[in-house]
């Protein structure tokens, strides 16, 4: 069996409402690149990568020179072909490798007639639990609905999601409004769902001192962990020394070098494994084994996925012996998906792990075409330039939470 062709198609899929991130970033729709790998014996494997456009499509096309003729089952050799130490100095191919690895695992599973989780050691659970991923949101510009800005709106949004999907863990993405406002919102969630678990993630936007103040103010709640409150292993280590909540990261432990550094001088208790950021499902399984050895926690991270990447998260989550937290997924914010049968459903806050051979998801060609056309029409997304917060950067001490963010929270003034 040999790879005979690699195709990449960039799509954009609308979200219910624009999601606000820290550092003046936001998502109004997801842009993803769908990768298809064909083999000489007629198999088709699917991969997915965040972002996209001409450069992503060209990058995958460039890899054809290396990979046509490669046997998809040779996954370690694949890693050295794409990520060998010298090539890695010149090209950051980790996420390209991830998408190719997904597709190769999909092909191998189909060829052997087994789901990907069987290739990873076999599943330990039939369903993976997920957290509600709560964002501050702008209203949908077309419907005027979906705004999440105040504590009341946040709780109402979380209640609706819990009713619809059954979530029992709630993650608040912060770093958008002043910490005092986000603290009030977080505590409102805790009041509204006293039996549920919580986690807060401002994407490293707080200073160490702000993080310590925030952390101490939520120590009494049912926190899973305090995710990237501030930037960097040294900052997280200082926060961890002062706050009685486990720390977590998906930003500064995403390589084995960083994982080793964290083991040698502990800063992070829970490592959030992202099948894209770590370069594939198998690197996440290997990292989870290191974490198991050193008794660090792990969870399944979401970097914004359509159904193909969601499938990789489900196969990973199904097989990790040391998974003790609900997974993250942006998935419920999507209005649609490009996989056959539409969005995978949540039941009681869980999604069923696919059992069909390979990743267990197939493309809906009509939707792939439709959302590729939408991408052609709308182009890329200025993720880091939120029109509502155009001057977020100045970083004047104590002023960085001021205008325009405060304008959006008039109740604070």
Q: Are 339 and 363 in contact (CB under 8 A)?
A: yes
Q: Are 295 and 268 in contact (CB under 8 A)?
A: no
- Of 301 and 350, nearer to Mg ion (C-beta) is 301
- Of 161 and 253, nearer to Mg ion (C-beta) is 253
Of the listed pieces 26-34, 42-50, 107-115, 247-255, which binds Mg ion according to CB under 5 A?
A: 247-255
Q: Tell me the closest approach of the beta carbon of residue 63 to Mg ion, in angstroms.
A: 28
- Of 100 and 271, nearer to Mg ion (C-beta) is 271
Q: Which of residues 225-244 bind Mg ion (CB under 5 A)?
A: 227
SS3 227: strand
Q: Please give the Cα distance from 84 to 96 (Å, whole number).
A: 13
Q: Are 285 and 319 in contact (CB under 8 A)?
A: yes
Site string for Mg ion, 91-120 (x = CB under 5 A): ------------------------------
Size of the site for Mg ion (CB under 5 A): 3
Map 142-206 to HEC letters: CCCCCCECCHHHHHHHHHHHHHHHCCCEEEEECCCCCHHHHHHHHHHHHHHCCCCEEEEECCCCC
**201 scored as a contact of Mg ion (CB under 5 A):** yes
Q: Tell me the closest approach of the beta carbon of residue 229 to Mg ion, in angstroms.
A: 10
Q: Are 370 and 342 in contact (CB under 8 A)?
A: no
Q: Tell me the closest approach of the beta carbon of residue 242 to Mg ion, in angstroms.
A: 20
Of the listed pieces 121-129, 198-206, 218-226, 229-237, which binds Mg ion according to CB under 5 A?
A: 198-206
Q: Tell me the closest approach of the beta carbon of residue 194 to Mg ion, in angstroms.
A: 25
Q: Tell me the closest approach of the beta carbon of residue 185 to Mg ion, in angstroms.
A: 17
- Of 101 and 201, nearer to Mg ion (C-beta) is 201
**211 scored as a contact of Mg ion (CB under 5 A):** no
Q: Tell me the closest approach of the beta carbon of residue 215 to Mg ion, in angstroms.
A: 16
Of the listed pieces 55-63, 209-217, 222-230, 340-348, which binds Mg ion according to CB under 5 A?
A: 222-230
| Helix and strand totals (H; E) in the chain | 13, 13
Q: Tell me the closest approach of the beta carbon of residue 141 to Mg ion, in angstroms.
A: 26
**Which among 173, 315, 330, 333 is annotated as catalytic?**
173
**302 scored as a contact of Mg ion (CB under 5 A):** no
- For residue 393, give both structure tokens: 């950067």
- Of 247 and 250, nearer to Mg ion (C-beta) is 250
Q: Please give the Cα distance from 263 to 321 (Å, whole number).
A: 19
Annotation marks residue 64 as catalytic: no
Q: Please give the Cα distance from 47 to 30 (Å, whole number).
A: 16
Q: Which of 328, 160, 132 lies closest to 249 in space, CA to CA?
A: 328
- DSSP letter for each residue of 304-360: S--HHHHHHHHHHHHH-TTB-SPBP-SGGGBS--SBTTSSPPEETTEEEPP-SSBTS
**Which among 301, 315, 333, 367 is annotated as catalytic?**
301
Annotation marks residue 301 as catalytic: yes
Q: Tell me the closest approach of the beta carbon of residue 227 to Mg ion, in angstroms.
A: 5
Of the listed pieces 25-33, 174-182, 223-231, 262-270, which binds Mg ion according to CB under 5 A?
A: 223-231
Q: Which helix (H) or strand (E) holds 36?
A: strand 26-39
- Of 34 and 326, nearer to Mg ion (C-beta) is 326
Q: Are 103 and 140 in contact (CB under 8 A)?
A: no
Whether a cis peptide bond, with omega within 30° of 0, leads into 132 is no
- Of 106 and 182, nearer to Mg ion (C-beta) is 182
- Of 39 and 169, nearer to Mg ion (C-beta) is 169
**250 scored as a contact of Mg ion (CB under 5 A):** yes
Q: 45: which strand partners?
A: 37
SS3 368: helix
Per-residue DSSP letter, 137: B
Of the listed pieces 19-27, 235-243, 246-254, 277-285, which binds Mg ion according to CB under 5 A?
A: 246-254
Q: Which of 271, 368, 273 lies closest to 314 in space, CA to CA?
A: 273
Tell me the catalytic residues.
Answer: 173, 301
Binding site for Mg ion (CB under 5 A): 201, 227, 250
């Amino acid at each position: 069996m040999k790879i005979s062709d690699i195709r990449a198609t960039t799509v954009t899929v609308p979200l219910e409402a624009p999601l606000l991130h820290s550092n003046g970033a936001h998502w109004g729709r997801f842009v993803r690149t769908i990768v298809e790998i064909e083999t000489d014996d007629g198999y088709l494997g699917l991969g997915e990568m965040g972002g996209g456009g001409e450069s992503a499509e060209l990058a995958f096309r460039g890899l054809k020179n290396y990979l046509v003729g490669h046997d998809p089952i040779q996954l370690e050799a694949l890693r050295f072909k794409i990520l060998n130490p010298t090539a890695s100095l010149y090209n950051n191919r980790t996420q390209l490798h991830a998408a190719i690895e997904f597709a190769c695992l999909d092909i191998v599973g189909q060829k052997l007639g087994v789901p990907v989780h069987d290739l990873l050691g076999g599943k330990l659970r039939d369903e993976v639990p997920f957290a509600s991923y709560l964002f501050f949101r702008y209203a949908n510009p077309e419907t005027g609905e979906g705004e999440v800005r105040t504590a009341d709106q946040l709780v109402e949004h979380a209640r609706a999601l819990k009713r619809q999907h059954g979530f029992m863990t709630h993650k608040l993405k912060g770093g958008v409004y002043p910490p005092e406002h986000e603290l009030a919102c977080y505590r409102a969630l805790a009041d509204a769902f006293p039996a549920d678990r919580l986690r807060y993630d401002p994407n490293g936007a707080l200073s160490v001192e702000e993080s310590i103040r925030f952390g101490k103010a939520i120590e009494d709640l049912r926190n899973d962990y305090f995710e990237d409150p501030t930037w960097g292993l040294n900052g997280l280590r200082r926060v961890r020394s002062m706050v009685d909540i486990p720390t977590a990261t998906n930003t500064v432990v995403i390589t084995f070098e960083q994982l080793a550094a964290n083991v040698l001088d502990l800063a992070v208790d829970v490592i959030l494994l992202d099948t894209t950021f770590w370069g594939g499902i198998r690197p996440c399984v290997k990292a989870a084994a290191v974490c198991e050895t050193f008794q660090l926690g792990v969870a399944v991270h979401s970097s914004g996925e359509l159904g193909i990447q969601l499938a990789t998260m489900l196969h990973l989550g199904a097989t990790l012996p040391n998974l003790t937290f609900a997974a993250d997924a942006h998935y419920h914010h999507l209005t649609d998906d490009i996989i056959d049968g539409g969005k995978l459903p949540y039941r009681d806050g869980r999604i069923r792990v696919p059992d069909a051979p390979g990743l267990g998801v197939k493309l809906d060609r009509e939707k792939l075409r439709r959302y590729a056309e939408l991408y052609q029409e709308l182009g890329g997304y200025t993720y880091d330039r939120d029109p509502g917060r155009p001057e977020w950067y100045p970083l004047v001490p104590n002023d960085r939470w001021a205008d325009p963010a405060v304008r959006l929270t008039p109740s604070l003034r």
